[in-house]
A = this chain, B = another copy of it.
């Protein structure tokens, strides 16, 4: 184990779109864990849209970027963990993280037959987010239409496949021709529109969802949300797990079509996976079984090296990712 490591610090609160000046890549000594702490060597780190929100509020300038990761315990003063254990939890965009008293670490079961990086996505919080949005809130019936925005993304790509397994018709939205092909050809959605290329979103929805939309798995907000509100069927459900189109906005343009919520008796539910962490233990083996049996397919977009984190994150906010973006720590 070397004495110094690479870290990505958060150094400047962004206004509008994030750029590289919000980050500093530095070399610093690997910290010494206290007697009850756990030192983790980070193996995979997560790059997620929600970090944009933290950069507007919770993160303090000068701190390391905190993000989910999978790692290996190298030193532990906590009885639950010993060197060599694989764990996941909130680590940081760095090579080594000290977890005070081991708090917030969860076990990684390498015997489930899936890559351990999946604990950052399909077998972790994005996967459970898709599950809750589809099965707890959306509850599609066979034959209903489920429309999924960010369908090529970490959550959307799973949500659509879960909807299909429930007997529904899954239609996605994505932001490039390559993503649209991926969503239909690889992920198996019934159809997908390219929201950047369509001259009219309402017309695109009428074409791809001719029977209307019963469940909208909402990741983006903005004009697509407005078009979807107009195309929802009565008594439709809209689980909202992200509004990425607004994350970099400095002004709120408002959402038109709110009256459809009344007129069509819709249910719009914002949700956070933090209210559902108790589901993990029972859910992970079920999800692993869907993966190993091939009923759910999954695609990771793996970047090499923690120093790539700022570029990977900025690009993802601008929509250049295909599947879940993950960093392999060198």
Contact = CB atoms under 8 A, between A and B. Distances in A.
Contacts of A270: 260-267
A292 interface: no
B272 A269 contact: no
B242 A262 contact: yes
Interface bin, chain A: 20 to 34
A132 to B, nearest CB: 11
A126 to B, nearest CB: 16
Given A258-B221, A262-B240, A268 B268 contact: yes
A199 interface: no
Number of copies: 2
Contacts of A263: 270
A316 to B, nearest CB: 18
A255 B260 CA distance: 12
Contacts of A269: 261, 265-268
A232 to B, nearest CB: 10
Interface in A269-289: 269-272, 275
A275 B268 contact: no
A252 B262 contact: no
A60 B271 CA distance: 43
A259 interface: yes
A243 interface: yes
Contact of A268 (B225, B235, B267): B267
Contacts of A240: 261-262
Interface of A: 221, 225, 235, 240-243, 246, 252-272, 275
